[in-house]
Structure 1
Amino acid sequence: AISSGVFGFPVPLCTETIAQAVRDYCDSPQGPRSLTEIHLVDNNSDTVRVMAAAVKKEFSDLEPTMSIPKEMSRKSKRAAGGHQRGGGSPSKSPSSQGAERGGFQGDHQVNRGVQRSYSSEDGGSGRMEQITPDGLKIVLRMGNIQNQSTDVIVNTIADNMDLTQGAVSRAIVEAAGDQLQVAVYSESETSTRQHGDVVITDGFNLRCRKVFHAVCPPWDGGGGQAEKDLSSIITSCLEQAERRRMASLCFPAIGTGNLGFPRELVIRILLEEIQVFSRRRSPQHLEEVVIMVHPSDQKTVDSFTRGFSGQTGQRNVQHEDEEDFSRSAAPRASSHGRNISDTFSPVLSPSLGVYQMQMGQLTLEVSSGDITKEACEVIVNSSNQKFDLYAGVSKAILDSAGVKVQQECSAIVSAQGYMPRAMILTSAGQLPSRNILHIVGQNDPSRIKEMVYEVLKFCEDHKFSSVAFPALGTGQGGASPSAVADAMVGAVVDFVRKKKQKFVCSVKILIFQTIMIKEFYSNMRKRSGEEVEKGLMGKIKGSCPSA
């Protein structure tokens, strides 16, 4: 607490000023980008508690909960897993430590390094997380790999490239469609491949962008070569994902089925290779590696849980008990007999100024940010009927994208036989996204809702998995932020209920004026607990199960 010692400033004033400064910085449009954590440290426990209270008050809209970790009750009173810096006191991560050092635990975290947090209603079963010292998230999760929406899923295949051999491979090809097998044969170039080879194809009807097909050997009884091949496969998949600028990758419990690898060995090798990759490469694109275990395979669930819990050398974040994770292999139902996925989730705040809600298979995220920096498949540009608007957000998008995009728009509109339409698709030029969907701007909330719905339908029809919107109509359009929030969130709700989407799994709404985020947050909270499939009885408010 700066100046509260020998300089005599009142502790409450110091802590309040520090908390306000942190909040102002984080909420500003130029706020945290590479900065992921802020530590508030003091060697006086009374000052720490005042500091914690000030931070909790300043961030009250995020509903943080404060707790003193069990480690503080130990005789040594030292931070478990803390890092000693210089000769000062050990510092602790706000996400993993409690109020004794001014940190947070619970529903919402002021830690941009954690991209998914659980509320007490959500329970957190079926998932465990670690974050490497270099910031790569490792997640242990239960589910079916063919249903995952990570950018990449890893498949194990036989050396003859036949996808019908093996349970994982067969499930993936059934979900992807026959074209996946054709693509594997085409990409492999030979009828057989060597153990350790990785063949890369598109995902086709899967929710992922790419499938990495790894030729995994059978277990050799500890001879050494099979273990080397498995390590090589894991490293190769990680390297390829980073090289191709993929943000997320999902491994199955590779080799533990018919190939006969010991489960304890597989989880150890997976974690070791991911840690080594993170340390050596400090990946710039790959952010999350998921290890997927099928919930019916209790032996693998138990073994991987023990291995995941025992791994050292990284920070454990939002870490469940082993018992809770293992018990959650059984499907969870709500008090009304529905699975938790049948209702819209509580609104979560995984990092400051970011709000997320799970709507069935789709994640809606609202945050402050610059849409020109968004690296999704489609960003939406609100333009005019000639698609040449050069003002506001549209000007920022066109300037950042470069002249090529303006030329594409002009070519489409001036082409012979062109008929006026509500939207056109172009490349993204120099932007990190893949495409720009230019729409005719609206300022009537009812028309905004229709437009958002049509954009989502367009993305689904074109097999796009992610789309980012600006807050439509709130700039030069002059529409009420509250009405726009209701219209845009309402359109996403309608899309989830009516369209039965297979591809669109991420919708982001990026808001430049942070003051408007509150309107979207309030609207999302209002819908929490609604049924995903709305029945004839109208809106039914469901209650999420407790842990």
Structure 2
Amino acid sequence: MQKIIEKSHPVSRTGIHALHDDQAFLDPIQQRHKCYIKIIEKEHSRKRRTPTGVIGPSTHPSVLQEYKTPSGQTLQVCLGDLTLENVDAIVNAANSKMNHEGGVALAIVEAGGDAIQDESYDINNKRRELTSGELIVTESGRLHCKKIIHVVGPRWSGGNNQEMEILYDAITNVLQEAEKLGLATIAIPAISSARTVRTPAPILVAATADSGKIRTAEGKTIQLKKANLAKEKVDVIVNTAGSKLDLQQGGVSKAILAVAGKDLQQECDRKLQGGNVDNWSFITTGPAKLQCRTVYHLVCPSYDESIKDANEKVKSEKNRYLL
């Protein structure tokens, strides 16, 4: 008994818990070195399996900070295991080839199963390689969440290649995708923090706060979205047009006319009667074939006209103060 030596070797490698059930991995090592290996997991890192095989949280993550955005979302900075989060979606900091071989990506696959890696390869093989800011969505395997959003973060190049802006766009794309899929709660790791942008947390806060919705002091919600304006189902559609309301001119007017039909142009012509509409003024018409109640045709000056007007105003103010 005096020759028995016992020694602890703390190991912090991602996925070490998997050795607990892998005797085939441990046996050769024990035989080669004539030893016995016992894996002891710390209580805070232990995972439990439900009868369905889904990995669930054994403890709640520590909430370090909490922030409420102007549009009502709650943003928490947590210390914990991302793979144990009880949320609708978790985000993976992925590479462009969707090869989940290290870091957060490896931890997600080890906890959720190889099906996550297989699906990622299947999706990526059917399209081109992703660029920074782009994403794909997969099922969650054995994880407790509904979906995994895999997004590619930017690589740091000295800060001269818009890394901060690309990271902002990446977070924004994640939030918009989650909203589109009806995912209400989402856990996002510090994307690109290990190899690129050094301040991911402020960018995450900014992207969340600006994720397309702004609430005014009067309680109105303003939403920024990418869509076909002419196909929106709203009370009013605003068209930007020239002073003669020729809907064949200008990108917005053309798009609206294509859906509304010639009746909209004819109503504009009747109201104008050969005249002009002043800059920053508007007229209203019916919707024709649009899915709204009214169309506001706002006349905006061209860029050159706006610059000329601004210069004239500055010159006028300067002369007034010099007199």
Return the TM-score normalized by structure 2. 0.46
Larger gyration radius, structure 1 or structure 2: 2
Bigger relative contact order, structure 1 or 2 (CA pairs below 8 A, ≥6 apart)? 1
Return the TM-score normalized by structure 1. 0.27
